[in-house]
Amino acid sequence: MINRQWRLASRPQGAVNRSNFDYAETQVLASPDTGGKVLLRTEMLLCMPTIRNFISGKRSDYYPTIELGEPIMSPGVGRVVESSDSDYPVGTRLVGGSSWQDYQWVDPEQGYRVVPNDTPSVDALGILGMNALTAYFGVVEVGQPQSGETLLVSGAAGSVGSIAAQIGRIRGARVIGICGGSEKVNWLKDSCGIAEVIDYKAQDVGVALDALCPDGVDVFFDNIGGTMLRDIVQRMRRHGRIALCGQIATYDDAADNPPLDMMRIIYGAIRLQGFLVPDFADQMPQALERLSEWDRQGLLAHREDVRAGFEALPDTFASLFNGSNNGTLIARIADEESRPI
């Protein structure tokens, strides 16, 4: 079997582009050499901003580094095509760690979930996927907005931000979203039920916040970082909570990362907390159940931007950083019958 791959060719300098990736074809190994129990045929891949960190070349002990010549890591949905484990027979779909290639051997016990037969693959990466779970835990477990408190969400029209804003609304908080462009503003208002939205492309965010929240913000769900985080720290109420989800403003330009006013944080008793979905593994079943129920009840508007084609993967991923995607960005590289796209 031919295994198509996109590998890291060079470290991005500024914005990510197609030249940072190399296309290759290999033969699929007949048996695993690293403890894999099942062979997965990748169907869909989730494109998420943090992959930009993985390919930057910066070395840390808190996120992986993809080496030059290696396939790009990404969450995905795959179908079992060979198996040595009776618990995961051929045809089973799994969601979990994947990469930009058609096939890979995995151990299903290492961070994978079985996708139920009645759940579309797009839902496994969308409303029940990593981004929705990130929104859930960031709001419910980290930010913990109470009824009547003000929850501010940056990147509020994005995959994570829109779910975070709506969970805040479901919990009875007053939700204010920040996004860019009239189309996103209208979608948040009309589809997501977020009545108060700031368009950072047309408004001064600080001025708008001072008018909407003269007494400050209780909870801030931050997807952006950079100067926006710095300015909102100044507007947090005492004992405010900030859920640090992403820093997309600094992924391409580390210079856009000004220092925070630490004395304001100290004297305001403001809590800043980063988090990852695996931190809440024990609460995962409850989170998935609640997300499913809210979705069935029509309480969560969501949209998935599904783009077909393995050849287009680098361009699909790059669209995350120019604002041209709408919703959870997913690359489909095989159809439901496991035929390559």
> Kindly report the CA angle at 163 between 162 and 168, in degrees rounded to 5?
100
What is the per-residue pLDDT for 33? Answer: 63
Residue 200 φ then ψ, to 5°: -70, -15
Domain 2-126+302-332, CATH class in plain words: alpha beta
Please state the domain extents for the chain: 2-126+302-332, 132-278
Structure token pair of residue 23? 């296309």
Residue 51 burial by CB count (10 A; 0-12/13-18/19+): exposed, middle or buried?
buried
Q: Is the separation of the CB atoms in 120 and 98 below 8 Å?
A: no
Q: Which string of b and e fits 73-93 if b means at least 16 CB within 10 Å?
A: bbbbbbbbbbbeeeebeeebb
The C-alpha atoms of residue 94 and residue 91 are separated, in whole angstroms, by 10
Tens of pLDDT, residue by residue over 96-131, are 999 999 999 999 998 899 999 999 999 999 999 999
Q: Does the pLDDT of residue 160 top 80, yes or no?
A: yes
What is the per-residue pLDDT for 327? Answer: 85
Number of CB atoms found within 10 A of residue 94's CB: 22
Q: Which residues contact 303 (CB under 8 A, 6 or more apart)?
A: 326, 327, 328
Tell me 142's DSSP state.
I
What is the per-residue pLDDT for 222? Answer: 96
Q: Three-class SS of residue 221?
A: strand
Q: Does the pLDDT of residue 255 top 70, yes or no?
A: no
* Residue (of 320, 273, 339) closest to 55 by Cα position: 320
Q: Does the pLDDT of residue 249 top 80, yes or no?
A: no
Q: Which residues contact 259 (CB under 8 A, 6 or more apart)?
A: 230
Alpha-helix runs per DSSP H in the chain: 51-54, 121-125, 130-137, 159-170, 182-190, 205-212, 226-233, 248-251, 262-267, 284-296, 313-318
Q: How far is CA 274 from CA 81, 162, 320, in A?
A: 37, 19, 22
pTM, two decimal places = 0.89
What is the per-residue pLDDT for 247? Answer: 82
Q: Which residues contact 24 (CB under 8 A, 6 or more apart)?
A: 4, 5, 6, 7
Looking at 3.40.47.40, 3.40.50.720, 3.40.50.300, 1.20.58.340, the CATH number of the domain 132-278 comes to 3.40.50.720
